[in-house]
Structure 1
Amino acid sequence: MTHQTDALRELFITGLVNAHAVEKQALAIMTPQVSRIEHYPEVADRLRAHIEETNAQIARLDEILGGFDTSSSTFKDLGLSMSGGMAALGHSVAGDEIVKNSFANYAFEHFEIAAYKSLLVLAEDGGFAPATPLLKQSLGEEEAMAAWIDEALPMVTRRYATLYAEAGASKAKV
């Protein structure tokens, strides 16, 4: 192996480990959100579906990492999961929790999209072709979730405004 190949391998594995931790963080963000939603069943349903997708993404990352005889970082997984849980908790005190969660989820999906795009570049440049279809599948799921949030934001905002006008912030927030 050349120095360049070794460096790409190291960067790719680090990126995979980081993506694994980010997916664990996503679970820690979405799971409390979905358990609190009352007035936005479409959002709850889509979050539940994306939680399943996220678990599959974690399994795909584990599969790729296993091909390199390595695994995820428990420390990184735990650290980002804790920060994700704190982010979800922080929004729960907001009067417009559902709207804030929509903003945060939209941004987070784009962070994940960027991570998978970067991993795909490293896979291509490093010659890690077996990882490409798995990464593309995860990228597609993240892009679909981001698009769904984008399309749903007007509905969420309007429903929040209607519920707020009818019953106040405490009833409209989730």
Structure 2
Amino acid sequence: MADNEIRDAFIVGLRNAHAMENQALSIMKPQLSRIENYPEIAAKLEQHIRETEGQIIRLEDVLEGLDEDHSTLKDMALSFTGAMTAMGHTLAGDEILKNSFANFAFENFEIAAYKSLLTVADAGGFTAGKTALQSNLEEEEAMANWLNVNLAAVTQKFLLLREGGATAKI
């Protein structure tokens, strides 16, 4: 593959990752605003929202270092999609579980995206962006791991609250 084609693939991937992280914010922020009975999840979401905001800045820095910018249209489109996903879960009686499943899936999607971007960075010799991408990957892996480890406890707490007559509000 020609160097300019690798560069183009890298730029598209970075723009997609930027939009993906904005989508993540549009999913997590509405979830956080609704949480009442799961303070451990609220705390983790708050932490990951801050991490995600940092990831967006890292991606913008990498793009700027390549004299490129992010795609506002992609950012808006994926943010809208994320907000609609989060809103759809509010109708479910098991909203916290649906959110947990969706968050776990999305974190793994982000992990795959960053692993792919790191491969493209290697192929194109874009060493300046690798540290930022590796940091983003590690934060996504940590969040996915936390969700994985805590899914059973969230489900058990949901069942206990449901048994006690708790409402659908998470």
Deviations 1:69-101 (A, max 9, x none): 111111000000000000000000100000000
Q: Aligned partners of 1:89, 1:112: CA distance in 2, in Å?
A: 21
SS for the counterpart of 1:76 is helix
- Equivalent residue for 1:84? 82
Deviation at 1:141, TM superposition (A): 0.0
Q: Aligned partners of 1:75, 1:134: CA distance in 2, in Å?
A: 23
Please list every run of 5 or more consecutive structure 1 residues that lacks an aligned counterpart in the other structure: none
Deviation at 1:149, TM superposition (A): 0.3
- Equivalent residue for 2:116? 118
- Equivalent residue for 1:55? 53
Deviation at 1:68, TM superposition (A): 1.1
Q: Aligned partners of 1:67, 1:132: CA distance in 2, in Å?
A: 12
Letter in structure 2 aligned against 1:64: V
Q: Aligned partners of 1:99, 1:107: CA distance in 2, in Å?
A: 12
Identical counterparts, % of pairs:
53
- Equivalent residue for 2:96? 98
- Equivalent residue for 1:41? 39
CA RMSD of aligned residues (A): 0.9
- Equivalent residue for 1:68? 66
TM-score by length of 2: 0.98
Q: Aligned partners of 1:134, 1:18: CA distance in 2, in Å?
A: 15
TM-score by length of 1: 0.96
Letter in structure 2 aligned against 1:134: A
Letter in structure 1 aligned against 2:155: T
- Equivalent residue for 1:159? 157
Please list every run of 5 or more consecutive structure 2 residues that lacks an aligned counterpart in the other structure: none
Q: Aligned partners of 1:48, 1:153: CA distance in 2, in Å?
A: 18
Q: Aligned partners of 2:85, 2:51: CA distance in 1, in Å?
A: 21
- Equivalent residue for 2:7? 9
Aligned length in residues: 170
Letter in structure 2 aligned against 1:120: L
Superposed structure 1 runs of 4+ greater than 4 Å apart: none
- Equivalent residue for 1:108? 106
Q: Aligned partners of 1:157, 1:104: CA distance in 2, in Å?
A: 14
- Equivalent residue for 1:128? 126
